[in-house]
């Protein structure tokens, strides 16, 4: 592959936006997401073995085809080498086919879709961790930060962060399984251990345990309500127990449902293992 940033870009040969924002940023994203060493993801000067590229099963139909070739070659551990390439102004009179924002977004969205870890798992895990820390911090009592008091209303938002983050992590895991089983990406190293370690039964046990724990917390809240004759209660007191209980019930239900979906996606993996 050619690398125009190493070989030099002549004045007016590349639009300013492409030279200093589009190409560098998208190439950096590609290197981070896919552990690639390529510094210029969009250089059109490429030489390749036909058999190797045919085996990549390239599918895109737009400008993101340039990124797809590198991404799939990286995922399949193909050897790629860059050479410095000089870019000079285009001598053609017609307008270029490239549309900066539209095609830039197509490149970025393709790389995100091909990297469930960065699209779902990492952001979801961070969001879930922040929500969990906030929930545990507020569970014993209200907290004061300067003149601001954080209480059960903040716990509601922390619960939303936990649920949304957990859902994103689930999407990432299930998307990765679908991508492998459909042949879009090769099997990662953790693939076989994942299916040996986690199965439908384990998911049902974990999900049911969470669900029961949430029900127990809810029963405790109802007991407090009963001690007050089932009359109006101070929501600040009862919601401190109700909010995490509802959250654990919801997480348990999600784990149970995701376990069934996980097993459905893993059926082809089990069939292949029996055949081998």
Domain end residue (candidates: 52, 82, 113)? 113
What's residue 103's pLDDT? 87
pLDDT bracket for residue 100 (50, 70, 90): confident
Do both 188 and 265 map to the same domain? yes
Domain with 98, as residue range(s), is 2-113
Residue 258 structure tokens: 């995701």
Are 230 and 254 part of one and the same domain? yes
Q: By percentage, how much of the chain surpasses pLDDT 90?
A: 48
**Domain C-terminal end among 97, 113, 129:** 113
Domain endpoint, select from 113, 136, 154: 113
Same domain, 102 and 121: no
CA dihedral over 53, 58, 62, 65, signed as positive or negative: negative
pLDDT of residue 268: 56
Task: Tell me, yes or no, whether 97 and 67 share the same domain.
Answer: yes
- Please indicate, yes or no, whether residues 201 and 65 belong to a single structural domain of this protein: no
User: Do 159 and 265 fall within a single domain?
Assistant: yes
Total domains in the fold of the chain: 2
> Same structural domain for residues 158 and 234?
yes
* Model pLDDT for residues 134-153, shown as the tens digit of each residue: 999 999 888 999 889 899 99
Q: How confident is the model at residue 275 (pLDDT cuts 50, 70, 90)?
A: very low
Same domain, 135 and 21: no
User: Could you read off the pLDDT of 215-261 as tens digits, one per residue?
Assistant: 999 999 888 888 878 877 777 778 888 999 999 999 999 999 988 88
pTM above 0.85, yes or no: no
Q: Are residues 133 and 203 in the same domain?
A: yes
Same domain, 137 and 152: yes
Q: Are residues 233 and 176 in the same domain?
A: yes
As a whole number of angstroms, the longest Cα–Cα distance in the chain is 86
Q: List the structure tokens of 127.
A: 């969001």
Q: Which residues pair with 147 in a beta bridge?
A: none
Residues 198 and 105 both lie in one domain: no
């Amino acid at each position: 592959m050619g690398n125009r940033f190493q070989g030099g870009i002549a004045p007016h040969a590349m639009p300013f936006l492409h030279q200093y924002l589009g190409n560098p940023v998208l190439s950096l994203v590609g290197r981070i997401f896919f552990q690639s060493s390529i510094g210029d993801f969009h250089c059109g000067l490429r030489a390749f073995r036909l058999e190797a590229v045919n085996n990549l099963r390239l599918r895109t139909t737009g400008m993101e085809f340039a990124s797809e070739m590198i991404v799939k070659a990286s995922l399949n551990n193909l050897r790629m080498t860059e050479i410095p390439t000089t870019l000079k102004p285009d001598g053609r009179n017609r307008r270029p086919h490239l549309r900066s924002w539209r095609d830039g977004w197509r490149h970025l969205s393709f790389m995100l879709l091909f990297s469930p870890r960065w699209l779902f798992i990492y952001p979801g895990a961070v969001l879930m961790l922040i929500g969990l820390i906030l929930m545990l911090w507020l569970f014993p009592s209200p907290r004061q930060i300067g003149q601001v008091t954080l209480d059960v209303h903040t716990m509601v938002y922390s619960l939303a962060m936990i649920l949304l983050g957990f859902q994103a992590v689930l999407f990432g895991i299930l998307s990765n399984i679908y991508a492998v089983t459909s042949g879009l990406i090769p099997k990662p190293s953790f693939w076989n251990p994942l299916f040996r370690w986690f199965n439908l039964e384990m998911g049902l046990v974990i999900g049911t345990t969470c669900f029961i724990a949430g029900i127990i917390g809810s029963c405790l809240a109802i007991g407090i309500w009963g001690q007050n004759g089932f009359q109006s209660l101070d929501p600040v007191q009862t919601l401190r127990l109700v909010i995490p209980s509802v959250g654990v019930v919801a997480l348990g239900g999600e784990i149970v449902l995701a376990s069934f979906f996980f097993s459905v996606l893993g059926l082809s993996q089990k069939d292949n293992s029996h055949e081998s």
